[in-house]
Amino acid sequence: MRPGPGQGHFRRLRGRRPEPGHGRQTADHDDHRSGLHRVAGPLHDGHHLREDVTSLRGPVFGRDPLSSPSALSQERFSRIPCTLHPVFLSTRLATTLPQLQRLIGGRRPFLCTEAKLAKTLEPVLRQLSHSLGHPTLVTFVGGERSKNRATKERLEDSLLRAGAGRDAVLVALGGGLVSDIAGFTAGTLMRGVPYINLPTTLLALVDASIGGKTGVNTPAGKNLVGLFHPPLAVLGALDLLNTLPRSEFRSGLAECLKHGAGLDAGLLAWMAERSPEGLRRNREELFHLVTTSSALKCRIVDEDPAERTGRRNILNLGHTLGHAIELLSGYRVSHGSAVAAGLCWEGACAVVQGYL
């Protein structure tokens, strides 16, 4: 059978070394420490940017590689009411894997993530590999300054070289940046293929991965080019947050505060009685926070899925100034920190004008 577009290159990625100068691959070697077969993508525009296409193989690092002493006393699983797309939350990734398998069905899975996350989350990748039958891993250089059209183009090229076709399903493993870029790519690849979000940050878990908004930044501002392309589902697991730095955890709390300030005074009061470190350590309360906050986001998204009525604008609370801070800082200020500053500024304005 004649291979489809990119499949010839994909076979070489999995085995035989390409001839010198053939195609656009620049290296082919086996990583014997991890058991991964890795192929480096091309350099572009003089920048040391690389996309890796990897066939996930090798042993799984145990049944539950992300166990934590702060884990819940009992396993939890919850489906958040959301008409636009399902949102499943659990305490452990292992609990959501059967659902992930059902969603993928007979499609060919491609795991998309940032290159640096692929190293941090290697045990997760092993677990997913074992569950999904050795999917293809495609990585790209992350960071907010790389959230642009050029990065999306390179991701598309990597997927096509790996043989992605109409039967593909992208699995976005990472924070909001990954779901934005992978979701946008899924919406245009082959004129639209499905994708699934597996958020690994609190911010993505309660906000960025929900609602189907995808896109990239431009010199004119954040998220100005993109699509409304809802995922097949969002599958969240608290154990994916175990490696999250404290600063990133606090960044996610800003979006939870936004939901409380704009939609649920009870949630805002509940959060005011707790410290960020306390929520980080108490997984019972963290699960409550995540389910409550994501449910608020889902409610608004269902009321205005494509931002046509103005109802969804309430989810931009704190973002007007926040986006300006991010842009002017050259994205050195994180999204959550910028939104937190925006919430304070907008709250102060509301007090001065007599609304609060």
Catalytic residue among 255, 259, 326, 346: 255
Catalytic residue among 108, 259, 312, 346: 312
Catalytic residue among 108, 154, 335, 346: 335
213 catalytically annotated: yes
**What is the maximum alpha-carbon separation in the chain?**
72
191 catalytically annotated: yes
Q: Other C-beta atoms within 10 Å of 67: how many?
A: 11
The CA R_g of the chain, rounded to the nearest whole Å, is: 20
Q: Other C-beta atoms within 10 Å of 86: how many?
A: 18
Catalytic residue among 316, 326, 332, 346: 316
Distance CA 157, CA 133 (A): 23
259 catalytically annotated: no
258 catalytically annotated: no
Helix (H) or strand (E) holding 66: none
Catalytic residue among 122, 248, 285, 307: 307
22 catalytically annotated: no
Q: Other C-beta atoms within 10 Å of 253: how many?
A: 21
37 catalytically annotated: no
Distance CA 127, CA 44 (A): 32
Q: What is the DSSP secondary structure assignment for residue 204, as one 8-state letter?
A: I
Catalytic residue among 9, 108, 280, 297: 297
Backbone φ and ψ for 161, nearest 5 degrees, come out as: -65, -30
Catalytic residue among 12, 323, 326, 346: 323
255 catalytically annotated: yes
Catalytic residue among 213, 229, 280, 283: 213
Catalytic residue among 32, 33, 63, 191: 191
Catalytic residue among 37, 319, 326, 346: 319
297 catalytically annotated: yes
Assigned token pair, 322: 């926040």
Helix (H, G, I), strand (E, B) or coil at 215: strand
Q: What is the DSSP secondary structure assignment for residue 313, as one 8-state letter?
A: G
Residues labelled catalytic: 191, 213, 255, 297, 307, 312, 316, 319, 323, 335
